[in-house]
Structure 1
């Protein structure tokens, strides 16, 4: 079936059973087939298995947001795309006073979070490191009643190929699509006996490993910052706008004010101080650095003739997914193929966004391809690549990458300027210790994704076998 155009003949009884809806969504998503298969199992409506406020299936409230600069006066605030991200250290902060006045904003561990506006049906399992964070109204919370059903099993089922189609089938809206809690309240949940506990254990294992991976990365960045003498970010309130006075000599190479802002000058001074003590190198001398050229995106419908293709935003997610396949020869010709351990850096976008943010390619993305709008960085040594990732993930490293962006409308990073970035290059023992923590974190994320996939497969297999 062609990916861009789908057609299907359905029995008229499907129209009757779906409220005479004449839009294609409910009949093309697989929801009808899923419901028919689930009729062969003992099921319970979702609303009878949930607890907490509003019946246990609810959105956050709509309200005017008051953002603050840091944790002293704020609570981490997750949007519908943030819940899917692997790194939650760069999210915005919402006023504590505002969160205290809206308890429905607060997320608890074990909830299933479902995007319900725009792209419908993307899901995340609320881990222990998300407990107490606040969330927007653009994703639903499904709070399981632990006396009736395990949280991990419920998440595995809802995110399976039986749960997702039924959720998506309730979508409405012509321009910006939505789904509301009452649309999934009667969603049938099959009771699968011992398989439920097995799926729950796997999802919990995945959540635990993701929390541990985030801790290892945070520890590696903190350890490196301490060894290099960097001052840690205190989320101090910055001047709005940022105003500073600098020597005219700084303007000889770059005339834009952001490049010479006091925060960026301080970041450069921190790197220079560390270089004086530990030694220095240009980034391009210790790693290969390149940006693929612009190319025509030639997609294929048959995966056997292509490789998975990801956009820049998807690369930062916990479990990147795509339905796009780029022609193999295009991916090879333009150097778009990804390798395990490769560092990717968003090379375009707004300064306050993803530009300059580093992410490391996991084993699951090895051999896939991604947009040319990402800088590739890879050392000959795995541990050195891990060290470089930790260094570029420090507040100072991220600032210096963003500092190199140029352009008034859509800022871009330029390959040669990134290659010539002067970085501290300490002895091998320090680089290895930091790099190993990062590599271990990446392995944990791979293991977590595999455990979650195994939980979904277990649920799907049990449903299929029980329906025979």
Structure 2
């Protein structure tokens, strides 16, 4: 397979304007051309528009991460991987004592910040929303804090995410194997001033988007809490699970389905018995026939988006904006698509606490247009028995996560034990409660889709205004 090389001739003046850097990054990114385009507009350099710790553009120090299980002793901790996820209810917990120390207290996230990954895959950007105010971030996330007296935070975020802002952000990266960005690389980043009307409109769109994502998170949490409350239960926390003791030194009557101790561990049995004290049904009874299995294997033939499906894998499915390769529609059948209300569960992985194995996602709205790899368990509720959104309200819970992990098999790389899955007990609330949970979930995903559209609208508005050269 031949490699494609990019070749570009540049004038010597570009070398002078970039400090005579001889690596390709600043010139191939498009940042230099954009500087020429921005001459049509009044511009400010980013450090003149920020305020706060270290001038408002900063990341953090290297530090030892002391994780805890109990929320009373920890704060939600955002890493570059978790930063991209839509549902932030499962963040690991950093020691509260460390987080509030003089060394780390400034790493707290505040609403309106722009967060940018600055190590590894650099340049991924999100806007901090209201439900992130009690979250801390790691040293690989760079924060940009807009000075409210100089610029609107939503406009600044939207600009940095446009095809004019992104090249500026990534042009300063350095490193060969692991790339990095530092606050000093933003010293000469140009921000166009497009007039009060445009900047206010872009800001308002981003703020509305953030509010909708906060609603998305609140609805999901409310649906899960309601589902459990209605059957007299409370979802467990990771701390609860670990406080129940180890899985060593127990006896169990093994059936013909499995001889693996994990499938009979006391904590798993305790969860199942709690559910069976109320109304419940086995998972298989709630699902359509032929589901509760992983997807088909298929060839991946790359194609242009016009003729392709975007293929989503286990890592990207949980992102707010999933990324994936584009595979030719003609090379696959419709089995790579899923029907509305399908629950996809990450079906391969390891048993690490922060691993995605056994985490669930709900497919509806815009996500129905994508294709999904074979590495997902398909859980499709029978709508004559249970509303699919209601089933997801349970499947996203910590209780379901621990039960699914106890129904696994494998040595290093785990998979589901497909003979154990059908009998997993699922709480079964009354119809009115199930309908309420379903409606909350559907409303959550509608809010999420609308939030993405509003962000895109803000970015498009800025791009059009820059291209037109006027306010």
Mark yes or no: TM-score above 0.5.
Answer: yes
Mean Cα displacement is larger for which, 446-455 or 222-231? 222-231
For residue 370 of structure 1, report the CA deviation from its aligned partner: 2.3
1:397 paired residue number: 400
1:32 paired residue number: 32
For residue 175 of structure 1, report the CA deviation from its aligned partner: 0.6
Cα pair distance change 1:12/1:292, threshold 3 Å? same
Cα pair distance change 1:355/1:15, threshold 3 Å? same
Distance, in Å, in 2 between the alignment partners of 1:160 and 1:437 is 32
Q: Report SS of the residue matched to 1:321.
A: coil
1:411 paired residue number: 414
For residue 67 of structure 1, report the CA deviation from its aligned partner: 1.1
1:268 paired residue number: 272
Cα pair distance change 1:241/1:120, threshold 3 Å? farther
For residue 273 of structure 1, report the CA deviation from its aligned partner: 2.2
For residue 7 of structure 1, report the CA deviation from its aligned partner: 1.7
| Residue pair 2:297, 2:374 contacting (<8 A) in 1 also | yes
1:364 paired residue number: 366
Distance, in Å, in 2 between the alignment partners of 1:10 and 1:435 is 57
Cα pair distance change 1:331/1:60, threshold 3 Å? farther
Distance, in Å, in 1 between the alignment partners of 2:248 and 2:333 is 46
1:385 paired residue number: 388
Q: Report SS of the residue matched to 2:88.
A: coil
| Residue pair 1:338, 1:365 contacting (<8 A) in 2 also | no
Tell me the C-alpha RMSD between the 2 structures.
2.4
For residue 85 of structure 1, report the CA deviation from its aligned partner: 0.8
Mean Cα displacement is larger for which, 118-127 or 304-313? 304-313
2:201 is the counterpart of 1:198: yes
2:242 is the counterpart of 1:238: yes
Distance, in Å, in 2 between the alignment partners of 1:174 and 1:77 is 28
Report Cα offsets for 1:12-46 as digits up to 9, x if no partner.
Answer: 33344333433333233222222221121101010
For residue 444 of structure 1, report the CA deviation from its aligned partner: 0.7
2:125 is the counterpart of 1:134: no
1:54 paired residue number: 54
Mean Cα displacement is larger for which, 417-426 or 128-137? 417-426
| Residue pair 1:37, 1:467 contacting (<8 A) in 2 also | no
Q: Report SS of the residue matched to 1:259.
A: helix
Q: Report SS of the residue matched to 1:214.
A: helix
Q: Report SS of the residue matched to 1:356.
A: coil
Cα pair distance change 1:346/1:80, threshold 3 Å? same
Distance, in Å, in 2 between the alignment partners of 1:237 and 1:147 is 48
2:372 is the counterpart of 1:373: no
Distance, in Å, in 1 between the alignment partners of 2:372 and 2:319 is 13
Distance, in Å, in 2 between the alignment partners of 1:269 and 1:396 is 12
Q: TM-score, normalised by structure 2?
A: 0.91
For residue 243 of structure 1, report the CA deviation from its aligned partner: 3.6
For residue 419 of structure 1, report the CA deviation from its aligned partner: 4.2
Distance, in Å, in 2 between the alignment partners of 1:398 and 1:368 is 25
Match of 2:148 among 123, 146, 149: 146
Count of residue pairs the alignment pairs up: 462
Cα pair distance change 1:103/1:4, threshold 3 Å? farther
For residue 231 of structure 1, report the CA deviation from its aligned partner: 3.0
| Residue pair 2:115, 2:142 contacting (<8 A) in 1 also | yes
Mean Cα displacement is larger for which, 178-187 or 339-348? 339-348
Q: Report SS of the residue matched to 2:309.
A: strand
Distance, in Å, in 1 between the alignment partners of 2:41 and 2:298 is 50
Report Cα offsets for 1:34-59 as digits up to 9, x if no partner.
Answer: 22211211010100111111110000
Cα pair distance change 1:4/1:86, threshold 3 Å? farther
Cα pair distance change 1:244/1:251, threshold 3 Å? farther
For residue 237 of structure 1, report the CA deviation from its aligned partner: 7.6
Mean Cα displacement is larger for which, 251-260 or 183-192? 251-260
Give the alignment of 1:11-160 within 5 angstroms: 11-13=10-12, 14-101=14-101, 102-160=104-162
Distance, in Å, in 2 between the alignment partners of 1:387 and 1:240 is 28
Q: Report SS of the residue matched to 2:369.
A: coil
Distance, in Å, in 2 between the alignment partners of 1:22 and 1:189 is 25
Report Cα offsets for 1:382-439 as digits up to 9, x if no partner.
Answer: 9711011011122221211121121111111255543453433444333212111111
Q: TM-score, normalised by structure 1?
A: 0.92
Cα pair distance change 1:278/1:371, threshold 3 Å? closer
